[in-house]
């Protein structure tokens, strides 16, 4: 079964390179990151900027990697933006194999949040991989090995990838495990805080010296304290992640519940460590005012380890095994009803997948507003839901006839099969819906020179093969737009009333739709 799990993992690893073969950067963080990278190449490498102002939302390590890759692939290739995530995904799979065997790697990589993030320009997978390395080193340290300093270095690097939640999670895991084991911290362990603090400061101190007081206020009061206690975006109640867990842990939510219960019934120390790891992510992020589903990606490796221990003890090999622990047959350490819980959990998830597939096949275009109605009626989209339905039915048959381990592999492949089809067939359509290609085409149709364009509440411009000069189109706030009065203005329709006085001298010459929102092109 290890060989089957290994082959299944290899297929999943290959599947993440399908969408980058065709897709664009999508509106949101990805197009914003493209502008950050363009400005880095223009001279702001050490202190990344966005539209000339220091970019304080994220530390620079991820952008440094993208920037260096653009010298090999070019700024308008998708590969510099996705290669860091793809490499991190492969490294995470290797780490999970070392920690919990092929099943742990398979479960982690088929978590839809992880699988999808691996194909993006975001830094979440790299963040999760570095924290997984830190957690592995902490586990070995609690087993008596001298690996605490390595854990600290990994968490410090994770800070440089995504920010201060990395040391918070690492320290929380250390604290939760110390409490669970009733172990008092030692004074010598304080030395491990040195790389955790020094590594971020190697960048932060020079960055503050370059950016000045305004940069310090932005990064500390808004991006750190502000997100923690008074977020201006993504503000959600404390129960946000609990309510969203069936989505963020898909397709493994129900199996996770069964696995956590089984871990404590079996008194499985390794699974209990993974539960501490889950709490070390969940609790700090719950206490923050700012909340997003993607923040839970750091918890998915721990979820995978709990499930791997539960699904088949023989697959929990390597350093994840207890010191001196013998690998027992799958039934030796499992009560007869326990495996049934897992199969029932998979059946519930498969039933949900089947319902989604059926709904996609029977829903009518008039049930869905605007362009999405016509989209759902297309044959290639209907085929996506048919694949999901058929895969779910096949997995149900496997679950009813096979062992829990085969049921889990089948369940993991259901959504991946449908999404791999989407990556092969539907990405061009997604590009028209979610990228800035419609906006670029609209500007090209007007034959607008970049210096004549003013963008108001618009995404940054990036598509494959785009004329690089278009990147010089400026983004304006309302006051600057009144002063500049460019020949062309592109404004989000919802915000057009904010510049109503400016637009009186303009004629609307085109309209377009991106990410479900309408934009208008005006010409003076």
The per-residue pLDDT for range 367-377, each reduced to its tens digit, is: 676 666 677 77
Q: Are 281 and 302 in contact (CB under 8 A)?
A: yes
Above 80 in pLDDT, residue 55? yes
Q: Please state, in angstroms and rounded to a whole number, the distance separating the CA atoms of residues 66 and 131.
A: 21
Instruction: Give the pLDDT band (50/70/90) at residue 325.
Output: very low
Helix (H, G, I), strand (E, B) or coil at 512: strand
Kindly state the average pLDDT of the residues 396-424.
Answer: 94
Q: Please state, in angstroms and rounded to a whole number, the distance separating the CA atoms of residues 300 and 305.
A: 9
pLDDT for the residue numbered 110 = 97
Residue 58 phi, psi dihedral angles, 5° rounding: -140, 150
Averaged confidence pLDDT in the chain: 89
pLDDT for the residue numbered 46 = 87
pLDDT for the residue numbered 337 = 64
pLDDT for the residue numbered 226 = 53
Instruction: Give the pLDDT band (50/70/90) at residue 356.
Output: very high
pLDDT for the residue numbered 215 = 77
Q: Please state, in angstroms and rounded to a whole number, the distance separating the CA atoms of residues 250 and 256.
A: 10
pLDDT for the residue numbered 315 = 42
Tokens 């009733």 identify what position? Answer: 182
Domain ranges of the chain: 2-229, 336-427, 436-523
Task: Tell me how far the alpha carbon of residue 176 is from its chain's centroid.
Answer: 25
Q: Is the dihedral of CA 205, 33, 55, 163 positive or negative?
A: negative
Above 50 in pLDDT, residue 132? yes
Above 90 in pLDDT, residue 365? no
The strand pair at 507-514 and 488-492 is best described as unpaired
pLDDT for the residue numbered 334 = 47
pLDDT for the residue numbered 209 = 86
pLDDT for the residue numbered 373 = 65
pLDDT for the residue numbered 290 = 80
Kindly state the average pLDDT of the residues 45-71.
Answer: 90
Token pair of 16, please?
């993440």
pLDDT for the residue numbered 352 = 97
B/e letters for 86-100, b = 16+ CB within 10 Å, e = fewer, are: bebbbbbbebbbbbb
Helix (H, G, I), strand (E, B) or coil at 48: coil
Above 70 in pLDDT, residue 314? no
Q: Please state, in angstroms and rounded to a whole number, the distance separating the CA atoms of residues 472 and 486.
A: 13
Q: Please state, in angstroms and rounded to a whole number, the distance separating the CA atoms of residues 181 and 174.
A: 11
pLDDT for the residue numbered 500 = 92
Q: Please state, in angstroms and rounded to a whole number, the distance separating the CA atoms of residues 97 and 99.
A: 5
Q: Are 391 and 413 in contact (CB under 8 A)?
A: yes
pLDDT for the residue numbered 236 = 75
pLDDT for the residue numbered 367 = 65
243: left (phi over 0), alpha (psi -120 to 50) or beta: alpha
Q: Are 102 and 304 in contact (CB under 8 A)?
A: no
Q: Please state, in angstroms and rounded to a whole number, the distance separating the CA atoms of residues 17 and 12.
A: 10
pLDDT for the residue numbered 230 = 53
Tokens 């500390």 identify what position? Answer: 220
Instruction: Give the pLDDT band (50/70/90) at residue 516.
Output: confident
DSSP state letter for 185: P
B/e letters for 432-457, b = 16+ CB within 10 Å, e = fewer, are: ebbbbbbbbebbeebebebebbbbbb
HEC assignment per residue over 289-316: CECCHHHHHHHHHHHHHHHHHHHCHHHC
pLDDT in tens, 165-193: 999 999 999 999 999 999 888 888 899 99
DSSP state letter for 340: H
Token pair of 505, please?
């001298």
pLDDT for the residue numbered 232 = 45
pLDDT in tens, 210-239: 888 777 777 765 666 555 555 444 467 888
pLDDT in tens, 269-303: 999 999 999 999 999 999 887 889 999 999 999 99
What are the C-alpha distances in Å from 420 to residues 7, 340, 413, 416?
Answer: 17, 30, 10, 6
The CA radius of gyration of the chain, in Å to the nearest whole number, is 25
Which contacts qualify for 473-482: CB closer than 8 Å, 24 or more apart? Answer: 473/443, 475/51, 478/502, 481/454, 481/456
- Strand blocks (E) in 51-120: 53-54
């Amino acid at each position: 079964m290890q060989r089957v799990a290994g082959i299944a993992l290899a297929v999943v690893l290959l599947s993440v390179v399908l969408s980058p073969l065709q897709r664009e950067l999508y509106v949101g963080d990805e197009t914003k990151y493209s502008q950050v990278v363009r400005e880095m190449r223009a001279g702001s490498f050490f202190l990344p900027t966005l539209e000339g102002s220091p970019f304080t939302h994220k530390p620079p390590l991820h952008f440094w990697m993208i920037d260096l890759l653009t010298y090999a692939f070019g700024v308008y290739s998708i590969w510099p933006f996705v290669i860091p995530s793809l490499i991190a995904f492969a490294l995470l799979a290797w780490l999970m194999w070392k920690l919990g065997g092929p099943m742990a790697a398979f479960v982690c990589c088929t978590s839809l949040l992880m699988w999808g993030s691996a194909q993006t320009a975001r830094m979440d997978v790299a963040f999760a991989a570095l924290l997984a390395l830190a957690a592995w080193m902490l586990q070995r340290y609690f087993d008596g090995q001298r690996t605490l300093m390595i854990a600290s270095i990994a968490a410090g690097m994770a800070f440089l990838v995504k920010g201060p939640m990395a040391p918070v999670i690492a320290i929380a895991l250390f604290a939760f495990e110390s409490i669970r084991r009733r172990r008092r911290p030692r004074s010598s362990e304080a030395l491990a805080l040195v790389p955790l603090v020094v590594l971020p400061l190697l960048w932060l101190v020079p960055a503050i010296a370059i950016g000045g007081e305004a940069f310090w206020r932005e990064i500390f009061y808004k991006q750190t304290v502000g997100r923690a206690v008074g977020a201006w975006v993504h503000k959600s109640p404390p129960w946000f992640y609990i309510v969203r867990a069936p989505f963020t842990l898909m397709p493994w939510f129900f199996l996770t519940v069964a696995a956590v219960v089984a871990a404590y019934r079996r008194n499985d120390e390794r699974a209990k460590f993974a539960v501490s790891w889950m709490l070390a992510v969940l609790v700090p992020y719950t206490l923050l005012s700012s909340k997003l589903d993607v923040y839970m990606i750091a918890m998915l490796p721990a979820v995978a380890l709990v499930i791997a221990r539960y699904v088949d003890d023989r697959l929990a090999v390597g350093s994840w095994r207890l010191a001196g622990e013998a690998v027992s047959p799958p039934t030796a350490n499992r009560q007869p009803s326990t495996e049934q819980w897992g199969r029932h959990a998979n059946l519930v998830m498969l039933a949900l997948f089947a319902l989604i597939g059926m709904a996609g096949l029977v829903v009518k275009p008039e049930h869905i507003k605007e362009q999405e109605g016509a989209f759902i009626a297309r044959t290639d989209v209907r085929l996506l839901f048919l694949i999901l339905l058929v895969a779910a039915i096949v997995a149900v048959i496997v679950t009813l006839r096979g062992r829990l381990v085969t049921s889990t592999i089948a369940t993991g492949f259901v959504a991946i099969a449908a999404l791999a089809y989407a990556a092969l067939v539907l990405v061009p359509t997604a590009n028209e819906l979610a990228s800035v290609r419609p906006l670029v085409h609209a500007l090209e149709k007007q034959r607008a020179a970049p210096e004549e364009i003013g963008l108001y509440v618009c995404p940054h411009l990036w598509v494959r093969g785009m004329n690089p000069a278009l990147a010089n189109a400026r983004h304006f706030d309302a006051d600057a737009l009144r002063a500049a009065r460019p020949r062309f203005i592109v404004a989000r329709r919802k915000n057009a009333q904010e510049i109503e006085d400016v637009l009186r001298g303009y004629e609307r010459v085109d309209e377009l739709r991106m990410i479900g929102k309408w934009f208008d092109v005006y010409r003076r």
